[in-house]
Amino acid sequence: MDARPEPGDDATTQRFQQKRERILDAATRLINRHGVKGMTFVDVAELVELNTTSVTYYFKRKELLAAAVLDRTIDRLEALIRDAAAQPTPRARMARYVEAHLELHARIELNQARPITVLSDIRALGEPFRSELTARYVSALRKVRDFFDPPRSDRDKILRTIRAHILVQNMFWLPGWLALYSVSDYPRISRRMIEVLEHGIAPDGARWTPQLLSVTPQAQTPESEGMPENFARAATCLINEKGYRGASVEQIASELNVTKGSFYHHLEAKDELVLECFRRSHERIWLIQCAAIEAGGSQLDQLAAAIGTLLDVQLCSEFPLLRTTALQVLPSEWRTDMLERSTRLARRFAGMMIDGISEGTVRTIDPLIASQIVMGALNSAYDLRGWIAPLPQGTAIDLYGSTVAHGLFADS
């Protein structure tokens, strides 16, 4: 996946390796800002103060460079997993995994460690890179699943997969909200995250019985009126499944049985489509939160209703929410706006938790951090559709939701 000099070549010197690492660092930062699609040799060369020809000496093609960046990040992810796996108990392994991620992010922020990139852009690569890196990522997820006690049944195996998934995805979601805090806060964030992941948001003995809500389309806000709903549904599903690159305009038009001309009648560019899908997703989360509050009951009841309904959307409906992994393809100013909208939705969950702490129906936790964990768990639930397919709809929602409510170690 990378340029390796022949044995004996003077390029094997330490200077070669240092320059190569600098190129990988620059590409990592660009992919984090613009995605694989937006990373160019010209920008990489500018960051490392080389000409473009010099960059191509190390990596002949852009895709080779992108694959090497992602490969290096998986190497570091595997190192974090090995570190955590050395702990003696499931709880200690989970705690060390969280601590190690926060420590790494602190070192990166202080320029004491090389940057890492988001792994969602694996889907933006062509073959064989996509398959090779996906296999490595899946293997890493299985190692995290081994943090937990061995499963006692097929249902228990699915539950263990859900818990490993929630843990891993919340570490990937950290860059989406860590910027709200200073590096000196990271140790406290680590402790509070471990607390929520271990025990959940519900007090010991509390019942988690979500009532699924019905949200009518008429309640949609005017901002969502620019694009037909079937366009948003088809695009969201294709982007979630295949990534930005895999979901071409041709495929979206084919899915809708319309011409490309009809597509461009509603939207000027594909990036605009992604933005519109995010707006729809955020509106739907907001509407479900509002419906949960209007339904009444305790704050825990309201949280259960909102989370259960959103899990139903992600795991079972024909129109899921758009995965945050698609953020990487948006221009930076749009991406910032979408992250701010997500933060506002998380803060609404935090407000419900604060009220629940006051009335005694929610565990005493850091609500701002807990709300981000909930957002991360909800958004990434879509990825487990295949795993939960053998289960009845209600069971799938209960298993996933109970992990949010009672933590990663509650009895199944």
* pLDDT profile of the chain (412 residues), mean per 10: 51 80 94 83 92 91 94 95 97 98 97 90 85 93 93 88 94 91 97 97 93 70 56 81 68 66 60 83 94 95 96 91 76 80 94 97 97 94 85 86 93 68
Cα torsion angle, 256, 259, 261, 265, sign: negative
For residue 349, the model assigns a pLDDT of 97
Nearest Cα to Cα of residue 251 among 272, 237, 265: 237
pTM value? 0.88
Q: What is the pLDDT of residue 260?
A: 58
Q: What is the pLDDT of residue 217?
A: 57
CB 362 within 8 A of CB 303: yes
Compute CA distances 265 → 190, 260, 274, whole Å. 48, 9, 16
Residue whose C-alpha is closest to residue 325's, from 278, 286, 374: 278
Per-residue model confidence (pLDDT) at position 224? 46
What's residue 310's pLDDT?
A: 96
Q: Which residues of 154-180 are buried (b: 16+ CB within 10 A; e: fewer)?
A: eeeebbbbbbbbbbbbbbbbbebbbee
- Assigned token pair, 268: 């000027």
pLDDT score, position 221: 45
